[in-house]
Copies of this chain bind each other. A is one copy, B any other.
């Protein structure tokens, strides 16, 4: 292409029309784009001299600024180069010869399909993913009723902070989080959860997942072992495995983690338990087991992670005191969250670590994630210190207890005592035990097609073959009046899959 023709080349490609909103299309940006593409596809070859911006502007009948804008941007991005006293030239942007030679000599050509290019751990994460696409509706487990959240109170507290900006709340924060919130949480945990702590041991995280991720990286190395309960929360397994920790599944019975002599011979680095409300089955770890676990961990330099995800909601008694509160050896890391007590989208959780770990954990959290959200933490502090947190929990405990009662009633109506209910003394879900011959995965799939979400108990076990069959039902986010009709539908599905209940199933349909 001759220089003289650049103006023709541009004029053919520039669109002088208007945008959808009526504004003229920006011509300077178009000149930039047309020249850029022409350089990349080599219709404008390296070394070619461009006309001066004054000359080109005259040819195009445009202001010189329009052309200068495009030239300046192309210069800044390296498409053009300016030689003093000589003019403006197309730069040589051909790739480095050494590098392209190396590329050409690559043993294999590029892979096709991104899945092939996931790492082994990435692929495992996706294949074994436990997270649900749906996060609302009957009977989604683990989701509180966020429609009952006192949003007006929250909004009022929020306004206080946003009316004038306070720079310390808007910039990065220290890894440990906002001090007044840590103090409020320490006060709360001491009284409500019998946790031994002060604010210096508290770190604010985005929830149980981040807390556990930090614990795994700070306290275990690739290839180390962690004991997890069998069955257990899917997130525990996924987070640990994704940082190279090998999970060893230890069965639970009515008293919680059931240690067998062969397990005891191989002390793990980390032991993750849900002592106040086993996830998913719901039993409370017995005191005798608690004391044994604490002694064992102290003697073997294992760390115990106490995942206390929902025990604020206990219906028959006050919440069970924490395992951490019994520990005299400082081997327990206590994890909690506001996801169930306030709302999940808040993404605020906390951990209580032994004093000797506090500073390292704060540095680690900050180094791995850079922390912020201080303004949210400030609002949450006021929400707690003004008493709204405690009263919201009290109010929701009554709401959930009623929903639990309604669900129990519906289950009994359909199944009398043919189904064993576990875990219904606390939290936001219960587990229905099914006969071994029931395919709980098929039931969940069939229920989903009728708009009901339930999760198969067998999926929470490490080994599907020996897993107990059952269903996880969340009642937290289901309005009272929907519980019975939704369970009626689910009961139909269960009956259709009940071993030897073919005729009954036909009748239900």
A interface residue numbers (CB < 8 A to B): 36, 40, 72-73, 75-79, 91-96, 98-100, 102-104, 106, 108-111, 113-115, 117-122, 125-126, 129-131, 133, 135-136, 143, 146-147, 149, 151-152, 154-155, 158-159, 162-165, 167-175, 206-210, 213, 217-222, 224, 234-235, 238-239, 242-244, 259, 261, 264-265, 267, 269, 284, 286-289, 291-296, 298-301, 303, 314, 316-318, 320-321, 326, 329, 339, 343-347, 354-357, 360, 363-364, 366-375, 477
Contact flag A122-B217 (CB < 8 Å), given A40-B326, A155-B159, A163-B155:
yes
Chain B residues whose CB sits within 8 angstroms of the CB of A91 once the complex forms: 287
* Alpha-carbon distance A72/B36, docked complex (angstroms): 77
Beyond A100-B295, A115-B356, A170-B343, whether A286 also contacts B78 by CB under 8 A is: yes
Q: In the bound complex, do residue A259 and residue B72 qualify as a contact, i.e. CB atoms below 8 Å apart? A: no
B288 touches A93 (CB 8 A): yes
Q: Chain B residues with Cβ under 8 A from A94's Cβ?
A: 288, 291
- B360 touching A217, Cβ below 8 Å: no
Assess the B300–A106 pair: CB atoms within 8 A: yes
Task: Determine which of B110, B149, B329 lies in contact with A170 in the assembled complex, contact meaning CB atoms within 8 Å.
Answer: B149
**Chain B residues with CB below 8 A from A77, complex form:** 284, 287, 317, 320-321
* A95 adjacent to B317 (CB under 8 Å): no
Given contacts A119-B218, A298-B103, contact A372 B356 (CB under 8 A): no
Do B167 and A146 touch across chains, with their CB atoms under 8 A apart? yes
CB < 8 Å neighbour of A244 from B136, B143, B222, B344? B222
Residues of B within 8 A of A103 (CB): 292, 295-296, 298-300
**Given A284-B78, A356-B115, A369-B210, do A170 and B344 touch, yes or no (CB 8 Å)?**
yes
Closest beta carbon of chain B to A118's beta carbon, Å: 6
Q: Are A106 and B369 in contact (CB under 8 A)?
A: no
B158, B224, B293: which contacts A119 (Cβ < 8 A)? B224
User: Could you tell me if B119 and A269 are in contact, using CB atoms closer than 8 angstroms?
Assistant: yes
Cβ contacts under 8 Å, A371 to chain B: 347
Residues on B with C-beta less than 8 A from A267 are 106
Complex: chain B residue closest to A293, CB-CB: B99
Question: Of residues A130, A154, A159, A243, which shows the largest number of chain B Cβ atoms within 10 Å of its Cβ?
Answer: A243
A346 to B167, CA, bound (A): 12
Contact A259 B99 (CB under 8 A): yes
Determine how close the nearest CB of chain B comes to the CB of A75; give it in whole angstroms: 7
A95: chain B residues within 8 A (beta carbon)? 288-289, 291-292, 294-295
User: Which B residue's beta carbon lies closest to that of A174?
Assistant: B133
For A345, give the chain B residue with the smallest CB separation: B372
Known interface pairs A109-B299, A146-B165; A360-B171 also in contact (CB < 8 Å)? no
B-side contacts of A210, CB under 8 Å: 369
Q: By the criterion CB–CB under 8 Å, are A114 and B221 in contact?
A: no
Q: In the complex, are the beta carbons of B129 and A363 less than 8 A apart?
A: yes
- Which residues from chain B contact A243 at a C-beta distance below 8 Å? 217, 242-244
Is B165 a contact partner of A93 (Cβ separation < 8 A)? no
When chains A and B are docked, how far (Å) is the Cα of A363 from the Cα of B339?
20
| A147 close to B172 (CB less than 8 A) | no
Specify which of B135, B167, B287, B354 is in contact with A173 (CB 8 Å cutoff): B135
Contacts of A221 in B (CB 8 A): 119-121
Residues on B with beta carbons closer than 8 Å to the beta carbon of A126: 360, 363-364, 367
A-B CB proximity, top 6 nearest: A114-B356, A95-B292, A76-B317, A155-B162, A93-B287, A345-B372
Q: Which of B118, B320, B375 contacts A76 (CB 8 A)?
A: B320
How close is A454's CB to chain B, nearest CB, in angstroms? Answer: 17
Q: Which of B175, B217, B284, B292 is in CB contact (< 8 Å) with A96?
A: B292
Measured between beta carbons, the chain B residues less than 8 angstroms from A102 are 261, 264-265, 296, 299
Contact of A165 among B108, B131, B147, B209 (CB under 8 A): B147
A239 to B363, CA, bound (A): 13
Q: Is the CB of A96 within 8 A of B171?
A: no
- Bound CA–CA A356/B116 (angstroms): 10
Contact A170 B345 (CB under 8 A): yes
Would you give the shortest CB distance from A248 to chain B, in whole angstroms?
15
Report the minimal beta-carbon distance from A272 to chain B, rounded to whole angstroms: 16
Q: Is B368 in contact with A264, judged by CB distance below 8 angstroms?
A: no
